[in-house]
Chain A
Amino acid sequence: MTFLLRRLGGALVQLVAVSALAFALMELAPGDYLEDMRVNPQIPAATVARWRAEFGLDQPAIVRYGRWVRSVASGEFGVSMAYGIPVSELIAGRLGRTVALSLLALGLTWLLALPCGVWCAAYRGGWLDRLLGGGATVALALPELLVGLLVLQGALWAGWGPVSGRIGPAVAVLAAVSFPSVFRHTRSSVGQSLRLPFVDHLRAAGLSETRILFRHVLPASLNPLVSLLSLSLAGITSASLVVEVTLSWPGMGQLLLEAILARDVAVVLAAVMVAATLLQVANLIGDGLLYLADPRIRRRPA
């Protein structure tokens, strides 16, 4: 249990660090909302000063950071200047869409990449291995933006009409972008396990090749893949931001972009914090799975 508790502590420390970083960025940014009012000749300086005191902006940065953290911890991210409604409401509407998109893409990626990786490791040099291996190599560095644009364009050329705003194409693009790394890792990890002596034993015992592969070799090579699971979710979360904008899926990514263009600081900070929290949760889940899958971790000294 200490392993998981330590990971939880680490996650909290990282979240605090992210919040400090985000707050520092906000502090360093030239000017603020009231600064724009101060230069406005129609608003008396005394009024601006009173507002400043009212909003607590005259306090030192460390005090304000403390207050901000306290309100964020209670789920309150302030009020969006562009929309005029609480940021938490704004995010609640978008978060579900991003989470749905990311989880669907994650599921699709692993459902495809895991069996393909196992198969290609077993039949190295076969036609599927050469096809997928070559494809994965080419696609490894392909930016999600270009894949999204190619899909948009391809759908039009194929006469399917506009595909933006639908979840299917967005999931497909995300899965296509994250497929290569999961596939390659599965293939190499299973390939390593296949060289272990217990495989010969199973073959000698007369088990079918498919059964050996999926019932015995795959579980034995799962360990690095479990760590990869949370990493691939992190990658998908980052990539989904771009895919959402490209294919007009109204999730957190679009919200963040709109907020940046409107200089809506509270929303920007909230979006970053929520994304960072999502990633930490994903990492914790990954650690938990690792804890379940590998008994050695439970006995590792702290």
Chain B
Amino acid sequence: MKACLVFLLAIHLLAAMAGFVTAYPPAEQHRENAWEAPGARFPLGTDGLGRDQWSRLVHGARISLCSGLAAGVLSAGLGLLLGGVAGLAGGWVDRMVTRLMELFLALPWMYLLLAARAFFPLETDARVVFTALLLLLGAIGWARPARLVRGIVMSVKERESVLAARGFGAGQWYLLRRHIVPETLPALATYLSLAIPQYVAAEVTLSFLGLGFSGSTPSWGSLVGSMGSLDVLTDAWWMGLPVVVLAVVFGCYSIVSSALAETQRQGR
């Protein structure tokens, strides 16, 4: 658990200082060194255009980790808003939101994500892709945190301390700020620790399929994109190294989120 946290921190630090820990920019092409095996000059080798794989891995971490983080926060925010409103308001508002929630939970979300992506132009600016990805993931992922928040809000608002505060004349806004929202935060934190790796994985998958960031933007998805071809797999074994690194990253994520969920369960 500790080792995993340290490893994840190291990855984030490396991503933040990407420019300092790499010798070449991720897009710089060394055509004379194409398909070079790992060595002193290129620690993880080079791809077919002679780009430094190490630099692409470290710079790619920025975009991938940021998309995961942003999409996770967005979906958690939407979930807090909608779940909170549903739990507080009750009545027909609650019924509507719950129905919508069930619908989104029952959807095959990978299909939906791809289908929604189909209606945006294929080749676009990296910033547009980033925004679109963020909005799509947030819009599809809000249902799970909303269900969590709704449950918590419904139980908290009947709690005696809250009823007492209400009796002392506390306003709706004060109750929300001091009593209700703080109660939902631990659950949301656990949700985020599970959701962020999922959203990072979504970016990697989409870009791998050619529907996310294109090869010229370094992201983890476009980095493993070249693994789709058999020639690369047989002739350039080092192209698989980023996949191994990513597998370790995701393994660490799961260990950390399992530990978080465990502490939360015991705390209750």
Query: Is B227 close to A, CB under 8 A?
Result: yes
Complex contacts, B205 vs chain A, CB 8 Å: 143, 145, 242
- Over the window 177-193 of chain B, the binary record of Cβ atoms lying under 8 Å from chain A Cβ atoms (1 yes, 0 no) is 00000000000000000
CB–CB B254/A14 < 8 A:
no
Complex contacts, B96 vs chain A, CB 8 Å: none
Distance from B219 Cβ to chain A, minimum over Cβ atoms (Å): 13
Which residue from A145, A152, A268 sits with its C-beta under 8 Å from B204?
Answer: A145
A234 to B118, CA, bound (A): 22
- Over the window 223-249 of chain B, the binary record of Cβ atoms lying under 8 Å from chain A Cβ atoms (1 yes, 0 no) is 010011010011001001001101100
Complex contacts, B109 vs chain A, CB 8 Å: 238
A29 to B111, CA, bound (A): 17
A141 to B257, CA, bound (A): 9
A256 to B115, CA, bound (A): 8
CB–CB B103/A18 < 8 A:
yes
Which residue from B116, B209, B247 sits with its C-beta under 8 Å from A25?
Answer: B116
Query: Is B122 close to A, CB under 8 A?
Result: yes
Query: Is B78 close to A, CB under 8 A?
Result: no
Complex contacts, A246 vs chain B, CB 8 Å: 208, 228
Complex contacts, A14 vs chain B, CB 8 Å: 102-103, 106
Q: Number of A interface residues, CB 8 Å?
A: 52
Which residue from B210, B237, B250 sits with its C-beta under 8 Å from A261?
Answer: B210
Query: Is B197 close to A, CB under 8 A?
Result: yes
Distance from A145 Cβ to chain B, minimum over Cβ atoms (Å): 5
CB–CB A279/B110 < 8 A:
no
Given contacts A139-B251, A143-B201, contact A149 B243 (CB under 8 A): yes
Central interface residue in A14, A146, A152, A246, by most chain B CB within 10 Å: A146
CB–CB B209/A257 < 8 A:
yes
Query: Is B267 close to A, CB under 8 A?
Result: no
CB–CB B108/A152 < 8 A:
no
Instruction: Find the A residue at minimum CB distance from B247.
Output: A146
CB–CB A150/B247 < 8 A:
yes
Which residue from A141, A153, A237, A280 sits with its C-beta under 8 Å from B197?
Answer: A141
Instruction: Find the A residue at minimum CB distance from B234.
Output: A156
Central interface residue in B110, B117, B227, by most chain A CB within 10 Å: B110
CB–CB A245/B254 < 8 A:
no
CB–CB A145/B201 < 8 A:
yes
Distance from B117 Cβ to chain A, minimum over Cβ atoms (Å): 7
Query: Is A87 close to B, CB under 8 A?
Result: no
A280 to B117, CA, bound (A): 23
Which residue from B119, B194, B211, B240 sits with its C-beta under 8 Å from A28?
Answer: B119
Query: Is A61 close to B, CB under 8 A?
Result: no
Complex contacts, A220 vs chain B, CB 8 Å: none
CB–CB A256/B106 < 8 A:
no
Central interface residue in B227, B244, B255, by most chain A CB within 10 Å: B227
Query: Is A80 close to B, CB under 8 A?
Result: no
Complex contacts, A17 vs chain B, CB 8 Å: 103
- Over the window 158-191 of chain A, the binary record of Cβ atoms lying under 8 Å from chain B Cβ atoms (1 yes, 0 no) is 0000101000000000000000000000000000
Distance from B249 Cβ to chain A, minimum over Cβ atoms (Å): 9
Chosen A-B contacts, 14 in total, with CB atoms closer than 8 Å, are A25-B119, A28-B119, A139-B254, A141-B194, A141-B251, A152-B233, A164-B230, A260-B115, A265-B118, A271-B111, A276-B107, A278-B108, A279-B106, A280-B106
Contacts beyond the supplied A146-B204, A260-B114: 13 A-B pairs with Cβ under 8 Å:
A22-B115, A28-B119, A29-B119, A141-B201, A141-B253, A239-B110, A241-B111, A256-B115, A268-B118, A269-B115, A271-B115, A272-B111, A276-B108
Q: What residues of chain B have their CB less than 8 Å away from a CB belonging to chain A?
A: 102-103, 106-112, 114-119, 122, 194, 197-198, 201, 204-205, 208-211, 224, 227-228, 230, 233-234, 237, 240, 243-244, 246-247, 250-251, 253-255, 257-258
